[in-house]
Amino acid sequence: MLSKVETAAPGTVEGAGASEVVQKARAAKRAARRLAVASTKQKNEALAEMALSLEAHEAAILDANRKDLERAAASGSSQARLDRLKLTSERLRAIAASVREVIDLDDPVGRTVRAWRQPNGLEIAQVRVPLGVVGIIYEARPNVTVDAAALCLKAGNAALLRGSSDALESNKAIAAALQEAIVKAGLPEASVQLIEDTGRAAAQEMMTLNGLIDVLIPRGGAGLIEAVVKNATVPVIETGVGNCHVYVRKDADLDKAERIVINAKTKRPSVCCAMETLLVDEGVAAEFLPRIGRALKAAGVEIRGCDRTRRYIEDAVPATEEDWRTEYLDLILAVKVVDGLDEAIDHIETYGSHHSDAIVTESYSDARRFVNEVDSAAVYVNASTYFTDGGQFGFGAEIGISTQKLHARGPMGLPALTSTKYIIHGSGQIRG
Amino acid sequence: MLSKVETAAPGTVEGAGASEVVQKARAAKRAARRLAVASTKQKNEALAEMALSLEAHEAAILDANRKDLERAAASGSSQARLDRLKLTSERLRAIAASVREVIDLDDPVGRTVRAWRQPNGLEIAQVRVPLGVVGIIYEARPNVTVDAAALCLKAGNAALLRGSSDALESNKAIAAALQEAIVKAGLPEASVQLIEDTGRAAAQEMMTLNGLIDVLIPRGGAGLIEAVVKNATVPVIETGVGNCHVYVRKDADLDKAERIVINAKTKRPSVCCAMETLLVDEGVAAEFLPRIGRALKAAGVEIRGCDRTRRYIEDAVPATEEDWRTEYLDLILAVKVVDGLDEAIDHIETYGSHHSDAIVTESYSDARRFVNEVDSAAVYVNASTYFTDGGQFGFGAEIGISTQKLHARGPMGLPALTSTKYIIHGSGQIRG
């Protein structure tokens, strides 16, 4: 409705004057129609070819990746950024292996969600169908190019991939390898396409191609996600930002609490389900805080505490209002002493990002209140927030972790890459 | 993330300088926390009180409605618009009855979508929860104020209602009656709020209140929906536009075909699931078109036909490219003769709005191809498109018909007004 590009008359000379984004989006739309009716067998064959092709083109891909790395190093990229960008023979084999894992995932397309017969004899079935054309806008890591392509294809979607300029040569080499495989398997080349224009205008164009792009999924840092949410008129699935809490209730088993806090903060501080704020009941602060303070410091964690926290962890940096809101993604932890369950829930609802939050408690009724009243994608009792992950939930690979409430919330497996349609079989019924 | 209004520190003097929209959205957010944990019994009691209160305040509501009508008449509103705006004692009783019907609908909140145990002992359940704060931006009809409020409340959501200036006095009187009832039932007054500022800036503000408003649902004409889709950064559920087709295949039962075409076009041409274009196979055109032409003209329908159509319906107006794209919502029908199934599907995919499309055929394989390849919210075999409606699908009342692929597609019953959360029960698990 917003955009009329999708209604170009059949036979119109396409691409005449159209941008790369529009041309590829149109090709994706056509490919999506064929992918929607492709059999699971055909899609799995394409995935198997994709894995083989990545391995077969290792030399070209690593060569392209070296060019990206040289350019990135010359422009002064940080070591961490270079490492995320870097591909090796081993990493490429791991990426190919991850494509093969997608073969084993259940194909959600065609699954009947529910079906019933109406009193007038109409038979109504709600059936899973692909979303259509899925746009992914993402940053540096070239493995996202493969992951997104494989998951989209398995769910019957055409993928329109827009990576960052840093990884352009790597992404081009990878996309070429994937397209070769897809064509070999008899599916349309445009099932997976890379947008090579890494300029801002091209990304903006993707965000407003209503009618050609069905859904946009940004994957990357908060700035990228915010820009997409702000500027897109195409429906967006917001992913990623996690200001997660662990709340140690006064009756907690403190061994469990220590284990969970250390795991949630230190195991992999850069992921969105890592803990960023620890809340501790006043009643247990004198016992727990000195102990967890020592353990955290031993793990290299900087502590930013409220006034009450600093009575028990004396060298903690004073926390400011801003600390309660911050997703550090680093070995830094905000710590606050609270009066009890009400204050803890209020704090989480006020400052949290509704991603993953945990309570450590032995109280049945407090556990129930916490899981019912904390409005987050994942709420835990006596377990680490670091479990919020498609693989850990048993979904296999994930396309991201949704932090919005529409469509999908939490880790998104393949069904999150589908929609549904109603199919109605009748025998001439009309409505009175 | 986009907006920091939601993270105002507890204890901050709210409303100091904040607009009506922000103040009411904050109040809605607080109300939503209480509604999320309200029992079904409590919510049903509130609905019962709401119906009673509408009846008790009939005089005040009709009086307010008269003021709206007088102003609208003075400003030259059309008779159709005045009729949509008008409330009578009878209409108000029907509105109250529709609230009582919501009492009988299943409460989706708390329903377990699925639950399983992971190998490490974690018990994971995906459970339905309210969306939170639902914003509805809608036009003229004051009954939407009640419908939206009742459905949102039953699904545990706070409703922020922004009607049009035409209906402001009616909506204020209705909202006051509803709030009185809600308070009487022990739920927060801010469960249902009307935004009284009907200016454009207030609507724009609603569209960008990320963090305070969880979802926006526009209900009204194409212009309103387009404006919301274009300007909102809050997730939107797009509703309503329907350029629907009936395709009469060469082997169709022509009695069924005539019945379905007449029903889909003429029963209620102003609804989104009414047929706008009729496609007829060349092979049956000579037999069917003269016959359906007579029947349509007898029903007062203006026909706009392609060249081949006009061979059989001589007085049809010549159709232009624009006709294939147009949602008339009126007694006008575009008619096109096609060579067969491929051309019919191509036409629907090219010009349709992916709402509701039907084939009339006796062919098993053609029926299968049509339902699989037409990418619409509802695809019919041998039945009228006019069935696309929550009531007709057995969902009870509906909040609208989604024409997007994210979250909900087709008629939206109460579950479409919910999200889910994952609740994970552990015994101290950490991730290795």
Q: Do A33 and B375 touch (CB under 8 A)?
A: yes
Q: Say if residue B6's pLDDT is above 80.
A: no
Q: Give the integer Cα–Cα distance in Å for B402 and B412.
A: 7
> How close A52 comes to chain B (CA, Å)?
31
Q: Which residue type sits at A411?
A: P
Q: Are A38 and B372 in contact (CB under 8 A)?
A: no
Q: Are A292 and A252 in contact (CB under 8 A)?
A: no
Average pLDDT over chain B, rounded to an integer = 94
Residue of chain B whose Cα is closest to the Cα of A233: B230
Give B222's pLDDT tier (boundaries 50, 70, 90). confident
Q: Do B237 and A406 touch (CB under 8 A)?
A: yes
Tokens coding B421: 């959360």
| pLDDT tens, position by position, B90-141 | 999 999 999 999 999 999 999 999 999 999 999 999 999 999 999 999 987 8
For the ranges A53-57, A158-162, A338-342, B83-87, the lowest mean pLDDT is seen at B83-87
Q: Say if residue B8's pLDDT is above 80.
A: no
Query: Which distant-in-sequence residues (6+ apart) come within 8 Å of A356 by Cβ?
Result: A242, A244, A273, A376, A377, A378, A379, A380, A385, A388
- DSSP states along B163-189: --GGGHHHHHHHHHHHHHHHHHTTS-G
* pLDDT for B13: 41
Helix (H) or strand (E) holding B80: helix B79-85
CA dihedral of residues A6, A12, A15, A16 (deg, nearest 10): -130
* pLDDT for A397: 81
Sheet holding A317-318, edge to edge: A317-318, A302-305, A332-338, A275-281, A244-248, A356-360, A378-383, B418-429, B123-130, B112-117
| pLDDT tens, position by position, B264-280 | 999 999 899 999 999 99
For the ranges A14-23, A97-106, B143-152, B177-186, the lowest mean pLDDT is seen at A14-23
Q: What is the CA A40 to chain-centroid distance, rounded?
A: 24
What secondary structure, in 3-state letters, does B307-348 show? HHHHHHCCCCEECCHHHHHCCCCCCEEEEEEECCHHHHHHHH
Give A221's pLDDT tier (boundaries 50, 70, 90). confident
> How close A348 comes to chain B (CA, Å)?
10
The helix-helix angle for A364-373 and B20-36 (nearest 10°) equals 140
Residue among B122, B351, B410 whose CB faces A387 most closely: B122
Q: Which CATH number is associated with domain B19-238+411-424?
A: 3.40.605.10
Q: B133: which strand partners?
A: B158
Disruptive mutation site among B114, B259, B375, B379 for chain A (greatest number of A CBs within 10 Å): B375
Question: What DSSP designation does A11 have?
Answer: T
Residue of chain A whose Cα is closest to the Cα of B430: A384
Tell how strand B192-194 and strand B158-162 pair up: parallel
* pLDDT for B16: 57
Q: Say if residue A145's pLDDT is above 90.
A: yes
Place of tokens 């922000």: B22
Q: Say if residue B213's pLDDT is above 90.
A: yes
Q: Give the integer Cα–Cα distance in Å for A87 and A93.
A: 10
> How close A360 comes to chain B (CA, Å)?
8
Q: Do A407 and B407 touch (CB under 8 A)?
A: yes
- In chain B, where are the structural domains located? 19-238+411-424, 244-387
Q: Are B293 and B303 in contact (CB under 8 A)?
A: yes
For the ranges A256-270, A418-432, B218-232, the lowest mean pLDDT is seen at B218-232
∠ CA(B422), CA(A100), CA(A181), 5° rounding?
125
* pLDDT for B113: 95
Q: Do A1 and B225 touch (CB under 8 A)?
A: yes
CA dihedral of residues A78, A139, A199, A166 (deg, nearest 10): 40
Tell how strand B400-402 and strand B410-412 pair up: antiparallel
Residue B419, classified by CB atoms within 10 Å of its CB into exposed (0-12), middle (13-18) or buried (19+), is buried
* pLDDT for A81: 86
Three-state DSSP state, B87: coil
Query: Which distant-in-sequence residues (6+ apart) come within 8 Å of B315 by Cβ?
Result: B303
* pLDDT for A7: 39
* pLDDT for A220: 85
Disruptive mutation site among A419, A420, A427 for chain B (greatest number of B CBs within 10 Å): A419
For A46, B50, B108, B290, the CA distances from B186, given in Å and listed in that order, are: 58, 12, 21, 63
Residue among A7, A353, A379 whose CB faces B351 most closely: A7
Tokens coding B401: 């018909």
Tokens coding A364: 């049945």
> How close B89 comes to chain A (CA, Å)?
26
Q: Give the integer Cα–Cα distance in Å for B122 and B118.
A: 5
ipTM of the complex: 0.92
Which residues in chain B touch residue A325, judged by CB atoms under 8 angstroms apart? 4, 7
* pLDDT for B5: 38
CATH topology of domain A244-387: Aldehyde Dehydrogenase; Chain A, domain 2 (3.40.309)
| pLDDT tens, position by position, A42-87 | 999 999 999 999 999 999 999 999 999 999 999 998 888 898 899 9
Q: Are B413 and B151 in contact (CB under 8 A)?
A: no
User: Average pLDDT, stretch B187-214?
Assistant: 96
User: Average pLDDT, stretch A288-308?
Assistant: 98
Give exposure, A210-245, as e/b (b: 16+ Cβ within 10 Å).
bbbbbbbbbbbeeebbbbbbebbbbbbbbbbbbbbb
Give B81's pLDDT tier (boundaries 50, 70, 90). confident
| pLDDT tens, position by position, A229-252 | 999 999 999 987 899 999 999 999
- DSSP states along B381-406: EEE-GGG-STTTTT--S-SEEE-SSS
Q: B215: which strand partners?
A: B134
> How close A215 comes to chain B (CA, Å)?
7
Residue of chain A whose Cα is closest to the Cα of B380: A424
> How close B422 comes to chain A (CA, Å)?
5
Q: Are B124 and B118 in contact (CB under 8 A)?
A: yes
- Model confidence, pTM: 0.91
Residue % of chain B over a pLDDT of 70:
96
Residue % of chain A over a pLDDT of 90:
88
Residue of chain A whose Cα is closest to the Cα of B1: A226
Residue of chain B whose Cα is closest to the Cα of A346: B10
Tell how strand B378-383 and strand B275-281 pair up: unpaired
Residue among B4, B383, B405 whose CB faces A122 most closely: B383
Q: Are A329 and A269 in contact (CB under 8 A)?
A: yes
Query: Which distant-in-sequence residues (6+ apart) come within 8 Å of B80 by Cβ?
Result: none
CATH class of A18-238+411-424: alpha beta
Give A222's pLDDT tier (boundaries 50, 70, 90). confident
* pLDDT for B4: 37
* pLDDT for B241: 84
